[in-house]
Structure 1
Amino acid sequence: MQADATALAQAIAGGRTTSREAMQASLSASSAWESLGAVAYRDADKGLTAADAIDVLPGDVRHTLPFSGVPTLGKDLGGPFTGFPTTAGSRLMARRGGLVDSDLAKRFRAAGLCLFGLTTSPEFGLSLASEPAIGPIARNPLAPDLSPGGSSGGAAAAVAAGIVAIAHATDAGGSIRVPAACCGLVGLKPSRGLMPAGPHFGNHLGGIAAELVVTRSVRDTAAALAALSGNARGPFPPVEMQKQRDGRLRIGVLTDTGADHPTDATRQAVIEEAARALEATGHQLVPISFEAVHGMASASRRAFVDIVCLNLADTIARFDLDAGKTEPLTQAVIERGLSLSAQSLWQSLNAMVLVSRDLWRLFDDIDCLISPILSSAPCPVGSFPSDHRDTDLHFERMAAFAPLAAIANASGFPALTLPFGTDAAGLPLPVQLMAPMGADALLLQLAGLLEQDGRWQHRFPIAGWPA
């Protein structure tokens, strides 16, 4: 049996273990892994109460819940989840009270997931590492001197370490996919409009952001998407997830990553190996030059930077917050947002539209694009410091590490990353799959084929897994 959240839910529903036993194991694991810095906030009582509520349900009801009694963690950014106050990794936001459940949080609970805490995020999600000044510093369980990525780094570290089998995550510029890639997990940034955005109907950073999970298996991601998506109740037109497709698909293969943002040879080679694995299942390979996406990548990164800077500046001003309490880099991001002209913002927003247009044209000739997500192995802890005010340097570092991540956010197209083998140091070799708007099921279908190859094995067991 595959050890993942789906299997743990089946074990709980079938009586092989209980939700309380699984929750107690996750709580113990979170304490044992405290040095990992994955969990920023914990409420054991709420976790046990949620678990007990599952255990008293009739067996036939438990069997209807896709994640019946499975312990989970929210992210300290996004959501929110009632009773789990977020700080967004900042001393500006005191942990008191707790907001009303978002539509997504309600769906988490309805799916049987039992929340007991929040995972570490960088301050306001501004980094591809998860090292907020208020702590804790999230580390990669596969190599603790390395980062698990960001901004959902705490979530990825918790799942890779087995503290939980599934965790909430968000993605505005790669923040689901980069941590998943660093930690050997499956991470899907869903199509724009597929996930709920209520109850407050914020614009989710002009449409570049999405929420879902990081998991250990493609089937867990597919089950989470099925349980949490649809009837989006948000500011963007709802998108229906397309079904899986039969027949021969055209797989675009990014043949190189260009001189501007080179991917190391090992991580480029795994793209070609994964492509050949898909070809062996009957699909057609179509070489795609980096030049076909280089302009889209640059425009997407500019839009990401402008939107996150202006959004944060507006948030600070609208709620009359003291920007002086934030980290130096965050202060500089706020100032950059305040200085952004309307014309510059308009150019970035228009560029996003053109990225979508150009990406649709690319997909006239292919059904899916396979490419790198990271240019190198996970970075050492401290590679994305926030004790300086050079925003250009910071965002350039992010672009160099994940040069193609923001295209999916700017366009709204879905993108998924999963591991496909290991490098010489035993670290995961990830690949990214991207498909047209609404083709999330196609990504899951192809990811499932790659997963069957069995090139990646999780290193740590899931807490609460029945003996």
Structure 2
Amino acid sequence: MNDATALASAISDGRTTARAAMEASLSACDAHAKLGAVVFIDKAVARTGAAAADNTARNDRGPFHGVPFLGKDLGSTAEGLPIAAGAAAMRTRVAAPEADSDLFAAFRQAGFLPFGLTASPPFGLALDAAPEGLPPACNPWNPSLTPGGSSGGAAVAVAAGLVAIAHATDAAGSIRVPAACCGLVGLKPSQGVIPAGPNFNNHLMGIASELVLARSVRDVTTAFGAVNFSTRPPAAVPNTPRIALALSARCDAAQIAATRAAADALTAAGCAITAIAAPDQMGAEAHAIVKTILAVSLAEWLLALEITDDQVPPLAAALASKGRAMQATDLFALTRRMAHLSDRAAAMFTNFDAILSPVLSTPPPPLGAFDLDHTDTDTDAHFAKMEAFAPNAAIANVAGLPAVALPFGMQNAGLPVGVQLWGPHGADGLLCHLAAQIEARAPALTYPFDIAGLPT
């Protein structure tokens, strides 16, 4: 299998070195710069880290030792990599962190070598990756289309082979949407199991989670195990896992067909499949909650950094204005709505171990579909467009549930199509196990580009 695990194995057994892998990644970043995946690279950091990795004793090496790694320009921080959240005003106000966040410290312990940052839309407010003032990230399968977002730059970097695996975040589908757009695997972990300190910059009232995008379930499973700090025992794998099949009527024929085929794969793996009604009403409510949280968060963010509305894209300014106008009592009431929705979402798993559904309603739209820089500042319309593209994605975020997306075959347009499994809190390992059963029976994908530095 061509993935980060394979690259780590090649470094471990001497078929290549961390230095050679890093030089290949740096060359690939230069060669594919027009894809817009990467917004910041420190080549000195890259080479220093790779040299140190090659000199590390074998008993001090993690499962991904020597593997080049890109952070996202949003979320937890890595030493030396200045996060600007895709916003021009942020680039003039942020300095390179002097230390790793807890998550990146765990990533380094696992063996990853962070050396740059991938594209994000301004403040993570779109399901694409078009940083302000920089070229948009383009889908490697068809560069005229969005790679999804907001972890779109990370998805492009992995699908284009710049790196084998990359950091990603998810507050309303931002790991799973680009995974589906670009033929990758991505797990949005359970709330609270991935370290978010010491600054908790991406907390967002608990709706955001962070992990990686990769080409295989085994990469995601290993990465999760390396950074998961939960003390709860993992959920057991039932003898006959009970899977609910939830197909929203808003999803097109290709998404439905792929999800049904994934259900057949789970049946072949010994699971029991039962069709249920898609939780569309709950999904819409969850999306509305996320929209409010993002508005209040953005208002606080801009205030803290002394960024004025005329220094951000018009739609971001309109959203921040809504956040500032919100009453504290209304925000307090929102926390109760979140608790009620979480309780209803948990009840869905009374009779099921996991739910299988599409990730998207359609193939990826053209670049610019989720543009923030326009005179139409109707934030409701912008968020409605995103909710329609990724129906019910926000349920996992608001309710704190794990959800994993992975590819299952190709659509007629020559693009990969994704499916997702979501489960009760703490079922991350179970979802990865079930995803591996789907992956083993899914049509193989041939990516547009090989992984840089992986020996053939």
Q: TM-score, normalised by structure 1?
A: 0.94
- In the alignment, residue 3 of structure 1 is paired with which amino acid? N
Corresponding residue number in structure 1 for 2:322: 336
Cα gap change, 1:73/1:202 in structure 2, threshold over 3 Å: closer, same or farther?
A: closer
| Deviation, structure 1 residue 341 | 2.5
Identical aligned residues as a percent? 47
Provide, for residues 438-460 of structure 1, a one-character-per-residue CA deviation record: whole Å limited to 9, x for no partner. 00011000000011014131412
- The 5 A counterparts of 1:58-77 are 58-62=57-61, 65-77=62-74
> In 1, distance between residues paired with 2:273 and 2:333?
35
Q: AA paired with 1:257?
A: S
For the residues of structure 2 that align with 1:55 and 1:428, how far apart are their CA atoms? 36
d(CA) in 2 for partners of 1:348 and 1:140?
36
Gaps of 5+ in 2: none
Matched, 1:381 2:362: no
Q: Which piece of structure 1 moves more, 381-390 or 158-167?
A: 381-390
Q: Deviations over 1:21-59 (max 9, x none)?
A: 000000000001000000011111101110111101133
Is the CA contact 2:357–2:421 (under 8 Å) kept in the aligned structure 1?
Answer: yes
Q: Is the CA contact 2:63–2:111 (under 8 Å) kept in the aligned structure 1?
A: yes
Quick check: 1:194–1:241 contact (8 Å CA) kept in 2? no
Alpha-carbon distance between aligned partners in 2 of 1:384 and 1:202, rounded to the nearest angstrom? 24
The residue aligned with 1:417 is 405
In 2, the alpha carbon distance for the partners of 1:268 and 1:93 equals 40
Please list, as runs of the form range in 1=range in 2, the aligned pairs for 1:153-164 lying within 5 A after superposition: 153-164=152-163
Query: Kindly tell me: are residues 202 and 114 of structure 1, through their superposed partners in 2, closer, same or farther at Cα, counting changes over 3 Å?
Result: closer
Q: 1:359 to 1:329 in 2, by over 3 A?
A: same
Alignment partner of 1:314 is 2:314:
no
Following TM superposition, by how much is the alpha carbon of 1:61 offset from its aligned partner in structure 2, in angstroms? Answer: 3.5
Kindly provide the amino acid, as one letter, of the partner of residue 121 in structure 2. P
Q: 1:351 to 1:456 in 2, by over 3 A?
A: farther
Q: CA deviation at 1:349?
A: 2.3
Alignment of 1:84-103 (within 5 A): 84-94=81-91, 97-99=95-97, 100-103=99-102
Output the CA distance in 1 between the equivalents of 2:88 and 2:238. Answer: 51
In the alignment, residue 234 of structure 2 is paired with which amino acid? Q
1:343 Cα deviation from its structure 2 partner: 3.9
Query: What residue number does 2:114 align with?
Result: 115
Contact 2:36 2:153 in 1 (8 A): yes
1:191 touches 1:239 (CA, 8 Å); kept in 2?
no
Question: What is the aligned length?
Answer: 451
Give the aligned partner of residue 45 of structure 2.
46
Q: Judge conservation of contact 1:92–1:322 (CA < 8 Å) in 2.
A: no
**Residue aligning to 1:140:** 139
Give the letter aligned to residue 94 of structure 1: R
| 1:257 corresponding residue in structure 2 | 248
Corresponding residue of 1:348: 334
Counterpart in 2 of 1:400? 388
1:123-142 residue CA offsets vs partner (Å, 9 max, x unmatched): 00000011122213100001
Per-residue deviation at 1:14? 1.2
Q: Relative to structure 2, which stretch is displaced further, 277-286 or 161-170?
A: 277-286
Matches within 5 A, 1:418-437: 418-437=406-425
State the partner residue of 2:227. 228
Distance 1:36 1:225, change over 3 A: same
Q: Partners of 2:120 and 2:234 in 1: how far apart?
A: 32
Amino acid of the structure 1 residue aligned with 2:423: A
1:41 alignment partner, SS class: strand
CA distance, structure 2, for counterparts of residue 253 and residue 438 of structure 1: 20
CA RMSD, aligned part only? Answer: 1.4
Going from structure 1 to structure 2, the CA distance change for 1:367 and 1:101 (only over 3 Å counts) comes to: same
Give the TM-score, by structure 2 length: 0.96
**Retained in 2: the 8 A contact 1:138–1:148?**
yes
Letter in structure 2 aligned against 1:265: A
Q: In the TM superposition, what is the alpha-carbon distance from 1:97 to its structure 2 partner?
A: 3.1
Q: Quote the offset at 1:244 in angstroms.
A: 4.5
Q: What does residue range 238-317 of structure 1 map to in structure 2 within 5 Å?
A: 238=230, 240=232, 242-254=234-246, 256-258=247-249, 262-290=250-278, 293-317=279-303
Q: Partners of 1:102 and 1:202 in 2: how far apart? A: 10
Structure 1 residue 197: deviation in Å?
Answer: 1.0
Q: Does the CA contact (< 8 Å) of 1:268 and 1:372 recur in 2?
A: yes
Residues 80-125 of structure 1: CA deviation (Å, up to 9, x unaligned):
1110101111111126631131000111111111111100000000
Corresponding residue for residue 391 of structure 1? 379
Cα distance, 1:366–1:130 mapped onto 2, change above 3 Å: same
Q: CA deviation at 1:249?
A: 1.0
Of residues 345-354 and 274-283 in structure 1, the stretch that sits farther from structure 2 once superposed is 345-354
Aligned equivalent of 1:82: 79
Whichever residue aligns with residue 378 of structure 2, its letter is D
Residue 348 of structure 2 is aligned with which of 362, 366, 373? Answer: 362
Whether the 8 Å CA contact 1:47–1:115 is kept in 2: the answer is yes
Which residue in 2 is equivalent to 1:234? none
> 2:207 aligned with 1:215, yes or no?
no
Secondary structure of residue in 2 paired with 1:432: strand
State the AA in 2 paired with 1:349: T
Following the alignment from structure 1 to structure 2, what is the Cα–Cα distance between the partners of residues 186 and 195?
18
Q: Give, in whole Å, the separation in 2 of the partners of 1:217 and 1:241.
A: 24
Quote the Cα distance in structure 1 between the aligned partners of 2:174 and 2:422.
15
Separation of aligned partners in 1, 2:15 and 2:255 = 41
SS of alignment partner, residue 74 of structure 1: strand
Q: Counterpart of 2:232 in structure 1: which amino acid? A: E
CA contact (8 A) 2:280 2:391 kept: no
* Aligned AA (1:380): P
Q: Which amino acid aligns with 1:455?
A: P
Code of the aligned partner of 2:443: R
The SS at the match of 2:90 is coil
Contact 1:241-1:441 at 8 Å conserved across structures: no
Q: Distance in 1 between matches of 2:254 and 2:24?
A: 37
- The 3-state SS of whatever aligns with 1:276 is helix
Aligned residue in 2 for 1:106:
105
The amino acid that maps onto 2:453 is G
Whether contact under 8 Å (1:68, 1:112) holds in the other structure is yes
**1:337-380, CA deviations, whole angstroms, 9 ceiling, x for partnerless residues?**
11122343234322211111111211001110001110000111
**1:192 touches 1:239 (CA, 8 Å); kept in 2?**
no
